[in-house]
Each structure stands twice: as C-alpha cells, then as structure tokens.
Amino acid sequence: MIRLIAAIDRKRGIAKHGFQPWSIPDDERYFTDQTKSKGACVLIGNSTFKIFKNPLADRQNFVLTRDELNMKGVVRVHDLKEFLDELGDKDIWVAGGASVYAQVIDLGKADELYITHIDADFACDQFFPDFEDKFTKTEEGQAQEQNGFNFTYTKYAKKG
C-alpha cells in the first residue's frame, strides 16, 4: 500500500522557499504517528531530505536522489518507478516533496492520501498535485485549531 501524506493550504501549497510556512505541532505529531504505523517506511525526495537533515527516527528512510548518500538509516533510490514496482505488498509513506508526490500520482501508484487541509493561503511556491479527479474522500476528521490555524485531517482512496 502506497500512502501519500501532506499538509496543504487552500491552494494545495506545501512549501514556500523550501520550508513549510506554518507551525501546527498537532499536525507534526499526526505525521509522526502515521508514518511510524503501517510499515514505518518513508520515501522522500532529496530536497525534502536535506530540509529534514537527518533520517526520520524509528522509520526506514528511502531517499529518491542521484546524489551519493552515506548515512546510517537511509537507502538511496535511483529509479522511482522501479522502486515502487518492487514494493509488492510492502507499505510505504511518501512524504514529499512536490515532484515526488506528482510522480507517484502520475504513475498511478498512490493508493491513499492522508491530507491535512489548512484553511489559509500561505502564498506557497511548491504545491501538492491535483488529485480530486483520481481520489475519493473516505474520512474527514473534526475541524481543529492550533496556533491560529484551522485544519482538518482527511483521508482519500484511489478511485476504482
């Protein structure tokens, strides 16, 4: 099962100048809890990995990159399609960035989306891809507020 997890603003923005422009500690805990469950394997792009600076603790980290990576707890992935094809029944979380999300969706490999919808516009310059025509909302949590931001956890499943 391939699950994408992201927090997005009203315009599907995920980052501005390479960083997430909001602070919602509850969503950070949600991200950690979700990605430690259901296999505890996370795939991220090289740019996102550089922002994290270290492997995500208590998870197997896969990084899509052409760069050399010699870091404990990190497995380098060169070919995204091949990697996803070889997963079999293994569970993996895709945690960004924008290009990796888009490639996984375009390949038809994403089974579920775990999206935190933030009711704000942060003038982001990186965006989560269009997904509404390929996915159906299956769960929507209660609206919440933290640090002045209203947000909702929502789960989607691939249509068909």
- Which two structure tokens, joined as six digits, stand for 61? 């980290």
pLDDT of residue 160: 84
Beta pairing class for 149-158 and 135-140: antiparallel
Lowest-confidence pick of 50-54, 69-73, 110-114: 69-73
Rounded mean pLDDT of 24-37?
Answer: 97
pLDDT of 67 higher than 90: no
Contact (Cβ atoms closer than 8 angstroms) between residue 101 and residue 94: yes
CA dist 10 and 139 (Å) reads 18
pLDDT of residue 6: 98
Is the pTM of the predicted complex or chain greater than 0.75?
Answer: yes
Rounded mean pLDDT of 9-25?
Answer: 96
- Which two structure tokens, joined as six digits, stand for 51? 């922002």
Of the pLDDT bands very low, low, confident and very high (cuts 50, 70, 90), residue 128 is very high
What are the tens digits of pLDDT across the range 83-104?
A: 999 988 899 999 999 999 999 9
pLDDT of residue 2: 97
